[in-house]
Amino acid sequence: MNDKKKVIVIGLDGVPSNLLFQELCNSLPNIHRMMDNGLYATLTSCDPPITIPAWMVMMTSKTPGELGVYGWRQRTGYSYNEAWIANSLSIKEPKVWDLLAKEDKRACLIGIPPSYPPISVKGNLISCNLTPKNSKNFAYPPELANEIEGLVGDSYMFDVRRTDDRDEFLKKLYEMTETRFKVIKYLISKEQWDYFMFVEIGFDRLHHMFWKYHDKLHPKYPPNNKYEQVIPDYYRYFDEKIGEILSQADDDTYIILVSDHGTGGMKGAFCVNEWLMNEGYLVLKKYPSDVTELDRCDIDWDKTTAWGWGGYYARIFLNMKGRESNGIVAPDEYDRVRDELKSRILNITGPNREKLDNIVFHPEKLYGECNGSKPDLLVYFDNLFWRSAGTIGHKALYLSENDTGPDDSVHLKEGIFVIYNKRGKNGHSSRLDTLSIYDIAPTVLDIMGIQPPYDFSGKVSKEVSHWVHNL
């Protein structure tokens, strides 16, 4: 193998395969060239298909259960109210760049969730969207922060927040991406690296703000709206930026486009805790007068069997004796209670009594090893098209909107994978069968001439390996 091979990974948070490969491909000349002269596939995300843990699942080839990270926030032990937010220190498993460092290879890393606070790497790191606004602690080595500020001033942005002012959002989105690419191109040309990776979180934010304006099948699509082309326009803009990266790559550099999950139109939100109350699993001492977060509600734990967390999927916890401080479910009743609850969830219908494609996972069956405070059930309402609303006070089961702010889209499992090298030629069948998010880390290591660890959850893509090593 040629150990001089280098890899650039361009992470597109939330980009779905149908939008990129089918709808927009012909208007994206650089991505189209990569697909024609390289290989591409739909990339199946992990369960759950959420930014955190998905990027770390991709980079470690370990399940969320092995990582002990089931979403942005996790329970603190088995506390009813305390939780912690995942960050760079939460990920204990070695990542691709850690394994490369053992082979004396350097990495340059930008915006990969979660990478705040910045931690030591063999190379350079700029932290991710978890970075507090105006923080000066966003880079490794620390002096890199001063270098970046010297390049772009204080204009470097880690994220752009959702807002009802969509025009202001778009302005900030383009400012964020433009500044990020200025830094990316600078570091690609200045630094010594073998592995370069950055993630653009802007795609995810764009989808959540504008999906209904683009997707004609969205239940809230407004015909002939002024935002119809907002999503395609940003994709075309980003394609131009990818072209600039392609022009910087030499013959030994392989460029990978990848997304952590897909995106689809949100049908609405299902109030999981309102439903658990109706079914007798969750008991309040007093129903709130306004919409209220669960941990601010007056819950009668001595009578509560189960409660849920909201998000793009639901996490259900049983109130277990010996585990929770006021648990009421005996250990020998665990399987019966959980199976009964699962059966009822599978039979939940939509607002018009329509059948929903609900999916319920047992974490220990899904992952095998489960670290941290795992939920007792993971639930996809209508296979993720209905998000889970954890708040209480709606006096309803179905909401037409997200309960935590403006949102048009949900996370689905079908992401993207594209690999390209300038020596690649058209004339071969470039579409591959579906790849798994777990296959990315071993495949990257294989490209760079390194044997992947035996305990990875994924495997080297034989098709990608054959193509790379026979160019």
Which one-letter amino acid corresponds to residue 151? Answer: L
Burial of 353 (0-12, 13-18, 19+ CB in 10 A): exposed
Fold type of domain 6-266+411-469: Alkaline Phosphatase, subunit A (3.40.720)
d(CA 391, CA 25): 39
* Collapsed DSSP state (helix, strand, coil) of residue 411: strand
| pLDDT for 67 | 98
3-state secondary structure at position 90: helix
**pTM of the entire structure?**
0.97
Return contacts of 142-149, CB within 8 angstroms, 24+ apart. 142/118, 148/183
Q: Angle between the 202-214 and 166-190 helix axes, to the nearest 10 degrees?
A: 140
* In the chain, domain spans: 6-266+411-469, 268-405
137 is written with which tokens?
Answer: 């602690």
Q: Which residues of 219-255 are buried (b: 16+ CB within 10 A; e: fewer)?
A: eebeeeeebbebbeebbbebbebbeebbeebeeebbb
Question: How do strand 268-271 and strand 398-399 relate by DSSP bridges?
Answer: antiparallel
Tokens of 174: 């383009």
Average pLDDT, consecutive stretches of 10 residues, N- to C-terminus, the chain (471 residues):
84 98 97 96 99 99 98 96 96 98 98 98 98 93 96 94 94 98 97 98 98 96 97 99 97 98 97 98 97 95 98 98 98 99 99 98 98 98 98 96 87 98 84 97 98 97 96 89
| Strands 262-265 and 409-412, sheet pairing | antiparallel
